[in-house]
Amino acid sequence: MNTFGHQFTLTTFGESHGAAIGGVVDGMPAGIDIDLDFIQSELNRRRPGQSAITTSRNEADRVELLSGVFEGKSTGCPIGFIVRNTNQHSQDYENMRCLYRPSHADYTYQTKYGIRDHRGGGRSSARITISRCVAGALAKLALRKYGISIQAYTSQVGDIALDRDYHRYDLSLTEQNAVRCPDPEKADEMERLILQVKEEGDTIGGVVTCVVRGCPPGVGEPEFGKLHAQLGAAMLSINAVKGFEYGEGFEGVRFRGSEQNDVFVNDHGRITTHTNHSGGIQGGISNGQDIYFRVAFKPVATILQQQQTVDLEGNATTLKARGRHDPCVLPRAVPVVEAMAAITILDQILSMKS
């Protein structure tokens, strides 16, 4: 399962400490202007070494498009791409070769395949999300002609949280701080908390909120192809994700139906809803309102503290990780969430037309 999508598909390859990360995008509509600077800017939002609250791994993450583009436009043929790894410190992982890191994929990969790449987690590394950001950027370019925009932001780090109503914030401020939070005061609090946790050799999790604007009604399928199910599958496939909710989500269970129902109104000949507790999706199909959802990320599993574990033979031992790691994945996860949302929405729109 290295391929995602139905009509617009992404197949990824590569490992954290291999020669390159790459992928093939198939189903890209022909004639789309391919803005390479935009694609690179999306990768830059994900790249390591951005600030004191991210990993210090220094990678330029320059994307190379290998096919599917002619004279600046997509041809409709598969778009192959690679991003070369240039700053691996594989020796930092040598003490992890013969043991299982707590809460990592080491044990499960070894059990499934009988072999694993211990260097940075190999295929299970979050570095693999590079391919998703390239494909997501291509999907965003294609979605422009539909008037669809996607904006994600950090809405919670630890117990520091924004109000759940995204309307209360100017989302254009998201990129103006290292945390990618649209509330400058909360962003400062979050950054201080992340730096404190980093100093302690620990990690912390949080929540990314995403808003999709301009999605027309009718996107999604009934029963097993529900739009929110597709979005949920996309988000839960991202490294470190532990939860997904859309609309009011779990918070909505505290209210009654009379408080939660989105009443239909006629707005100058256009049917719409007075509220949007449903998160823009009803019966698994978009209703034309903003689609909004929240994605929970666990604390990064690699901590710079001594932990108990076992070796490959099951003998008790201890591990103190070395290397360069994120104390909090949230700031770099924001563009990944947007990318997977863009891929999913475009895939569903193209499926309607097939």
Reading the chain (354 residues) residue by residue, the pLDDT tens digits are: 899 999 999 999 999 888 899 999 999 999 999 999 999 999 999 987 777 887 766 678 999 999 999 999 999 999 999 999 886 666 666 777 888 888 888 999 899 999 888 877 778 888 999 999 999 999 999 999 999 999 999 999 999 999 999 999 999 999 999 999 999 999 999 999 999 999 999 999 999 999 999 999 999 999 999 999 999 999 999 999 999 999 999 999 999 999 999 999 999 999 999 999 999 999 999 999 999 999 999 999 888 899 999 999 999 999 887 767 789 999 999 999 999 999 999 999 999 876
Do 348 and 159 contact (CB within 8 A), yes or no? no
Tell me, what's the pLDDT at 354? Answer: 65
State the helix-helix crossing angle for 36-46 and 330-353, rounded to 10 degrees.
140
Question: How far is residue 17's CA from residue 87's CA, in Å, rounded to a whole number?
Answer: 9
Taking alpha carbons only, the member of 330, 336, 10, 297 closest to residue 150 is 336
For residue 213, give Cα distances in angstroms to 149, 151, 189, 286, 342: 5, 8, 29, 11, 11
Q: Is the pTM of this model over 0.85?
A: yes
Residue-level length of the chain: 354
